[in-house]
Amino acid sequence: MHKPRKRFGQHFLEDRGVVQKMLAAIHPQPGERFVEIGPGLGALTFPLLQRLDHLDVIEIDRDIVEDLRARYPANRLSIHEGDALEFDFATVGHDLRVVGNLPYNISTALLFHLTDCAGIVHDAHFMLQREVVERMSAQPATPAYGRLSVMLQYRWSIDSLFDVAPSAFRPAPKVWSSVVRMIPHSVLPHVANDEGLFADVVMRAFGQRRKTLRNTLKEKLGASDLEQLGIDPVARGETLAVADFVRITNFIAGKRT
């Protein structure tokens, strides 16, 4: 039996009922191009292969890679050995359906990495720490709302599907998990003219959560600029919607020209 490795944040899903519930939510169909991040011991991998013609997986653990290669021929299972944070999803193709039980220790970084590839993704279904899913889908002026909420909601439609108890895993984590569905917007609801600037504005606004926008954004614009945009200069970043951050970004970008 494979021993979970702490450095990889491994918690192996073993509850078949949860697997079936995930499969029902994902609804895989033959001919679709799937990529699984971190197949682990195959709780989701093997049921997917029963429904798909071919599956791509990304796995960093060499022992797991060897086991997967012994179980399935390359024409059914393509194994990309390495770190998912460095993986180029475009090498697999387009219209990708991405799934996985993401390691908690790198889940946020993985979400940002996948967001950079959103244009080639059809949808994504992930098992994540429940607290992370709450942050992903949080609305303004709620405790969980922050930089992750804004950056992901700019690019994705996000739905929390169901919660999963620690007992579903080996070893059991100390926290509950949730399954989330992410679908990239076919047309962005709010378009930032400079997405790099947008990311910088959001980062500044949440960098010191208790400070007002007048202070966190003072290097980018003044209080009168915020008032011109209809935004209270003494408001905090956590009160602004995605659309507000886009308006601020486009205002700053417009002043540059």
For residue 6, the model assigns a pLDDT of 45
Domain ranges, ordered by start, for the chain: 6-184, 195-256
pLDDT of residue 148 exceeding 80:
yes
pLDDT of residue 5 exceeding 80:
no
* Mean pLDDT, residues 121-133: 97
pLDDT of residue 165 exceeding 60:
yes
Answer yes or no: same fold for 6-184 and 195-256: no
Give the sign of the dihedral formed by CA 158, CA 163, CA 168, CA 174. positive
Nearest-angstrom CA–CA distance, 179 and 158: 11
Nearest to 162 by CA among 13, 10, 11, 22: 22
Nearest-angstrom CA–CA distance, 219 and 255: 13
What burial letters (b/e) apply to 74-93, b meaning 16+ CB within 10 Å?
eeebebbeeebeebebeebe
Residue 205: CB partners within 8 Å, gap ≥ 6? 147, 213, 216, 217, 236, 237, 240, 245
pLDDT, tens only, 77-96: 999 999 999 999 999 999 99
Q: What superfamily in CATH does domain 195-256 come from? A: rRNA adenine dimethylase, C-terminal domain (1.10.8.100)
pLDDT of residue 8 exceeding 80:
no
* Mean pLDDT, residues 160-186: 95
Strand partners, 128: 178
- Mean pLDDT, the chain, rounded, equals 93
Question: Confidence band (pLDDT; 50, 70, 90) for 7?
Answer: very low
Q: Is 225 left (phi over 0), alpha (psi -120 to 50) or beta?
A: alpha
Evaluate whether the domain defined by 6-184 bears CATH number 3.40.50.150. yes
For residue 183, which phi and psi values (nearest 5 degrees)?
A: -125, 120
For residue 62, the model assigns a pLDDT of 92
